[in-house]
Structure 1
């Protein structure tokens, strides 16, 4: 198997172009997951739907990504990382344009939630595989992941601001045209990408495992969304989802015993460091997307803010993410990955009570800035180290699998954040519901902090 060329052998301009394409891809996918948060009122009025309907569209988008990210990672081994990346960009662009022209919620879900979700599942695993292969040492990889995660975090945190500006200046539909235009730029830059490893068309693809894993995850998250409507339906969906996932893992185990290649090797879960890193990734994105949805919805529905006012409030989180994410290389040289993840969780968790207490004490928009700044600083400090911990735990031959699993876990966290915190908020849409939703995110952050504390010490 061909090895990736050392970074020094690559022309600097090409390397910067490739990194720009990869980082922009992460930006636009993260942007798509959060920019609709400030369009809730506009979309619900234009498409004659409800806040819960828009929440469902956002959650399904994140869920489709999570459900298909592992298959997306496996497809890169069979068809090549660049080919999957380009195909994902094209599918995403079609979904964005269809969303821009959507006459109703159903078409919006098809374009944004389904097609953009599928496109993202195809293009995101290659981003992380290519970065891991093209930047083999810890420092250069931290720099590259720092840029990618910075733009990813900014896409999630600044999505409300950018989406708010576009919605106020033109319409919410123009935000989807903006996404298509960014995709066009990425397609032009991506022509410079050279796949470090050749594809292997003979690699098998586990269709049964794909269906079972996707169905199990979808049932679990849809069960959480059903919590405020029907508790019996919620329980039925959660139990059914758990049973389907159990079926999936039994199927994987059976394939491995027969010497066949399953969708996901159970060996990936035997690495304790990687497992803990995956838990931290899930908690990080759950808190990021959960906070984004809860604060944006509360500001619009309860406080009566418009799209641009809501977006401006999130500037504090964007600044925090930028400052800490772009410092990833310097931080990685000075501190172990474990220390950075612990510090990130501590800052993010500290931001939760600040968001609750200041929102209760003051009615001005600035009351949300200190809490969002802490959340942004914390998340930006730990997103890159968590990715590095997981990706660096496996050799080149397993980068397709672990990249898909890593992105699936992260996007599952995003969808759970919107589903769990959003369901608590939408059920009440009051000051108490807002505090309860944020408190739930804080509890999950404490669980992530506990996982980070169990990471091995040293340079890990």
Structure 2
């Protein structure tokens, strides 16, 4: 009997051998890193680019907004194109597009060429984001623990890219002109393509319907939504163009839901969202990157425009968020097996809410300690949410919905990240303009000068640095008011995500 038992114990099936598995993960992570470094590296170049090309202040924000706008509009289509034409092929095309767009910007002779380059990079990012995850899931699906572990590592690269962007941009700006920042992705693309072609096997669903109506409606709906939110913050939400744009967004997104419900092979399976736990998981997943990207975006602006930090110093001061995020994501999977991914989502969301509240304590003359603590909490909480959100979706989804749930989580996360800069940028602009007249009056700035300052600010300019100390201080204080309001929005989003995760995700996952 003991011999039989011993024989049975030794007959445990070995783990499947996956050729070049480490290189597959490396390729996917490099692609994701390239996608996210585009978000924050560009912010560090804005002042230098404005001076070099004499860009109007109101137009400067489109350097960063164009990329996120195109990513948001096309990210849902990227996954469907990968399935139909080959995930490796579409991933490689996306990597090349990311680098090509950056080269167009680096060699630009005028501002319109800069925006074209940013749009091309946005198309690349929309192709890379979903296919990089699909490469991992299709390669390692036979080894679920390994797949979840690799997804955790893959997700951590988003935090690395966001935090390294300002650091790398600042280092290059210290020695070179702003085009050098946009040359970073070119050598990375060469390495990524080479590793991908060598290690990644092609996978596709050749008879996969493209769902052209769904793709068209997602591009129109998400594109107009992000555009309307971003422009509304500057022009006002009563502007006829903004109102029309947002109405088009609502109509297109509503039509998208109706079309996807009837499509035989939908790009986004909205039918599975009838499950409240799964829908809650998707909202929490979106809120995770909304919070992380949003706070990094606000902190870059706070450090540079309120405290006057140089680009290199800004990157260094953001390191606590990056380090905490990477470490937290690496240990999140082990914790999830003990406490459940749903509870991790709830706890992590509470921590990010606390991080935003801590950062509200920042003032123009405050010490770095407040910033460091808030950023460390941000990275810690985000790491407990971003990676486990995929595992949480698996825990609450039906077995037949696993693939669709994975794609939906990816899409919602990326939409959350691009909505962060649009929504928080709009909140910041509205509050900044609203607070500026009172701050100028408190600083005893003459009315005629104050009127000119407010007019420049409404166009997106920053008069600090070429004005009196009183004006500079008033502008910084008003900008800080806007940043505080944005952080309160982040805190509210994170708190709501914590409630959803605790009420619907953790209990469902525990029962399952």
Partner residue in 1 for 2:329: 325
- Once residues 411 and 100 of structure 1 are traced to their aligned partners in structure 2, the CA distance between those partners, rounded to angstroms, is 26
Partner residue in 2 for 1:8: 16
Partner residue in 1 for 2:214: 209
* Alignment partner of 1:169 is 2:198: no
State the secondary structure of the residue aligned to 2:136. Answer: helix
Q: How far apart are 1:315 and its partner, in Å? A: 0.9
Asked whether the equivalents of residues 35 and 98 of structure 2 are also in contact (C-alpha less than 8 Å), the reply is no
Partner residue in 1 for 2:312: 308
Asked whether the equivalents of residues 88 and 202 of structure 2 are also in contact (C-alpha less than 8 Å), the reply is no
Relative to structure 1, is the Cα distance of residues 7 and 54 closer, same or farther in structure 2, using a 3 angstrom cutoff? Answer: farther
* Alignment partner of 1:152 is 2:151: no
- Once residues 98 and 121 of structure 1 are traced to their aligned partners in structure 2, the CA distance between those partners, rounded to angstroms, is 18
Relative to structure 1, is the Cα distance of residues 111 and 72 closer, same or farther in structure 2, using a 3 angstrom cutoff? Answer: same
Asked whether the equivalents of residues 95 and 115 of structure 1 are also in contact (C-alpha less than 8 Å), the reply is yes
- Once residues 426 and 103 of structure 1 are traced to their aligned partners in structure 2, the CA distance between those partners, rounded to angstroms, is 29
Alignment of 1:226-375 (within 5 A): 226-233=232-239, 234-253=242-261, 255-256=262-263, 260-357=264-361, 359-360=362-363, 362-375=365-378
Segments of structure 1 that go 5 or more residues without pairing to the other structure are: 1-5
Deviations 1:216-272 (A, max 9, x none): 11111222112331322333322221012122223334x43xxx4343333232343
Partner residue in 2 for 1:38: 44
Select the residue among 477, 482, 485 that pairs with 1:436: 485
Asked whether the equivalents of residues 26 and 148 of structure 1 are also in contact (C-alpha less than 8 Å), the reply is yes
Partner residue in 2 for 1:127: 132
Partner residue in 1 for 2:498: 449
State the secondary structure of the residue aligned to 2:207. Answer: coil
Q: How far apart are 1:203 and its partner, in Å? A: 2.5
- Once residues 291 and 93 of structure 2 are traced to their aligned partners in structure 1, the CA distance between those partners, rounded to angstroms, is 30
**Residue correspondences, number:** 445
Relative contact order (alpha carbons < 8 A, sep ≥ 6): 1 or 2 greater? 1
Partner residue in 1 for 2:53: 47
- Once residues 306 and 396 of structure 1 are traced to their aligned partners in structure 2, the CA distance between those partners, rounded to angstroms, is 51
Q: How far apart are 1:354 and its partner, in Å? A: 1.2
Deviations 1:382-437 (A, max 9, x none): 211012333674668873x5454333322221121111111222341522112111
- Once residues 52 and 395 of structure 1 are traced to their aligned partners in structure 2, the CA distance between those partners, rounded to angstroms, is 50
Partner residue in 1 for 2:414: 411
In our comparison, the structure showing a higher alpha carbon Rg is 2
Relative to structure 1, is the Cα distance of residues 154 and 394 closer, same or farther in structure 2, using a 3 angstrom cutoff? Answer: farther
Deviant stretches of 4+, over 6 Å: none
State the secondary structure of the residue aligned to 1:327. Answer: helix
Partner residue in 1 for 2:103: 97
Relative to structure 1, is the Cα distance of residues 396 and 262 closer, same or farther in structure 2, using a 3 angstrom cutoff? Answer: closer
Q: How far apart are 1:210 and its partner, in Å? A: 1.3
- Once residues 15 and 98 of structure 2 are traced to their aligned partners in structure 1, the CA distance between those partners, rounded to angstroms, is 30
Partner residue in 1 for 2:457: none
- Once residues 268 and 325 of structure 2 are traced to their aligned partners in structure 1, the CA distance between those partners, rounded to angstroms, is 32
State the secondary structure of the residue aligned to 1:360. Answer: coil
Q: How far apart are 1:196 and its partner, in Å? A: 6.9
Asked whether the equivalents of residues 84 and 126 of structure 1 are also in contact (C-alpha less than 8 Å), the reply is yes
Q: How far apart are 1:362 and its partner, in Å? A: 4.2
Asked whether the equivalents of residues 40 and 51 of structure 1 are also in contact (C-alpha less than 8 Å), the reply is no
Relative to structure 1, is the Cα distance of residues 439 and 80 closer, same or farther in structure 2, using a 3 angstrom cutoff? Answer: same
Partner residue in 1 for 2:5: none
State which drifts further: 25-34 or 101-110: 101-110
Asked whether the equivalents of residues 7 and 135 of structure 1 are also in contact (C-alpha less than 8 Å), the reply is no
Relative to structure 1, is the Cα distance of residues 418 and 34 closer, same or farther in structure 2, using a 3 angstrom cutoff? Answer: same
* Alignment partner of 1:108 is 2:114: yes
Segments of structure 2 that go 5 or more residues without pairing to the other structure are: 1-13, 433-477
Deviations 1:336-388 (A, max 9, x none): 1112212211211111121111x128434443111111101111222110123
* Alignment partner of 1:140 is 2:146: yes
- Once residues 451 and 204 of structure 1 are traced to their aligned partners in structure 2, the CA distance between those partners, rounded to angstroms, is 34
Select the residue among 367, 379, 389 that pairs with 1:386: 389
- Once residues 313 and 269 of structure 2 are traced to their aligned partners in structure 1, the CA distance between those partners, rounded to angstroms, is 47
* Alignment partner of 1:58 is 2:61: no
Provide TM-score, normalisation by structure 1: 0.89
